[in-house]
Amino acid sequence: MRVKEVMKTKVTTITPSTSLREIWDLIFKKHIHSLPVVVGKKMVGIISDKDILSKMYPSYEEVISDFVHARRFEDMEDRLGELSGLKAKDIMTTTIYLTYPERPIMRALSKMLLRGIRQMPVVEENQENILIGMISRSDILRAVYKKVIK
């Protein structure tokens, strides 16, 4: 099976100026783990739930300068207020692991497992990061299950 047979083509995307509140709303309401950040149709980054959660942890500089307080977990929750002004461009990862529509699904799954990611953007081949879909480990599992059951 090929990625194009399994991927979802209706993808929720955001722009670099999308607020953290909007990002959280999309992640929770749509039950998704990552959001492609696009300008037009071109992907410029991606934000996962892991990226958002990591913003609550202190930076290395904070840990070094105040080792005792930087490690207090209660203080990490208090950082949520500081995050409210962030935009997608402040949180997104610009290293994007992606796949192409003609790739075998098991190759895409291998990349996801190797990189520890749940979903992966599908982009047009021979185009520069033009988003056409998303594929998840669940999509692949469902497709393999259906093939085995038939």
The total of other beta-carbon atoms located within 10 Å of residue 126's CB is 7
Q: What is the pTM of this model?
A: 0.82
Rounded mean pLDDT of 9-28? 94
pLDDT tens column, 2-15? 999 999 999 999 99
Higher pLDDT, 71 or 98: 98
Residue 60's pLDDT is: 47
Q: Where are the alpha helices (DSSP H) in the chain?
A: 3-6, 20-30, 49-54, 60-65, 67-70, 73-78, 80-83, 88-91, 105-115, 137-149
CA distance 130 to 133: 9
- CA dihedral over 51, 53, 59, 63, signed as positive or negative: negative
Beta bridge partners of 19: 87
The pair of three-digit structure tokens given for residue 101, joined into one six-digit string: 């529509």
Sign of CA pseudo-dihedral 72, 89, 49, 2 = negative
Instruction: Give me the mean pLDDT over the 44-56 stretch.
Output: 86
Domains present along the chain, CATH in parentheses? 3-149 (3.10.580.10)
Amino acid occupying residue 143: A
**120-146 tens-digit pLDDT:** 999 998 888 999 999 999 999 999 999
- CB neighbours of residue 74 within 10 Å: 6
